[in-house]
Chains A and B, each alone.
Chain A
Amino acid sequence: MSMKASTRQVDGVTIVDLSGRITLGEGSVVLRDSIKDLLGKGQKKILLNLGDVSYIDSSGIGELVSAFTSVRNQGGELKLLHLTKKVHDLLQITKLYTVFDVKDDEATAIGAFSR
């Protein structure tokens, strides 16, 4: 049930591979800490891979929004990759799907970051 996050670098973009649940408590904290850590290191092009995220609750949605605005406020870009149907539907009904830049393909997503 816990969430895990690991990072890798591809062409100047930091990909954060998340797995598990982004929910009130541990899951939200893991995401928050990951973003804070990356921004602290000056890594401002961030691609969140949600392919293995099975579930997000309202707290997790809030954490995604917080990550998006934190990165943007520091002049960076945050995009989402590989949404599961459940997460996709959740972002649709909360009207956040159009706020986030959502991609289905990693190479396309990396190419979409400004250079």
Chain B
Amino acid sequence: MESTLESVNKAEETADQIAARAGLDEDIRSGVSMAVREGMINAILHGNAYDPNKRVNLSFEQNDHDLVIIISDEGKGFIPDDVPDPLAPENLLKTSGRGIFLMRAFMDEVRFRKLNPGTEITLIKRLQSS
């Protein structure tokens, strides 16, 4: 996908449709599509920096247990642990830095892998009904 805002919106819509087909209820679906949106923003804005020569890859995979979404960019990469905790009192009024937190809040598992170049984010949602 191109490194544009349109790709962010398209990815969010697709995630919602796939999560619906996977049988997730509206609240959970909304969280999954938000996590995908935040992952795409991370890739396109912070990773590829809207560079038209850099692409973002987005894939969805569903098995019996999980919905697995993988987003990768071609940016310079980052260290997730270096991102300040947005819930710390001194960071509450910061205007950015909540994307990774939101991904973790809405997904069951979030993994980061360093690529060369870029970053791969894996978002996992368990499908077992409660």
Contacts and interface: CB of A to CB of B under 8 A. Distances in A.
Nearest to A21: B9
| Interface residue SS majority, chain A | helix
Interface of A: 1, 23-25, 57-59, 61-63, 65-66, 68-69, 86, 93-96, 99
Contact of B5 (A24, A63, A69, A93): A24
A57 B5 contact: no
Nearest to B26: A86
B57 to A, nearest CB: 20
A49 to B, nearest CB: 21
Contacts of B99: 58
B84 to A, nearest CB: 13
A58 to B, nearest CB: 4
B58 to A, nearest CB: 16
B54 interface: no
A27 to B, nearest CB: 11
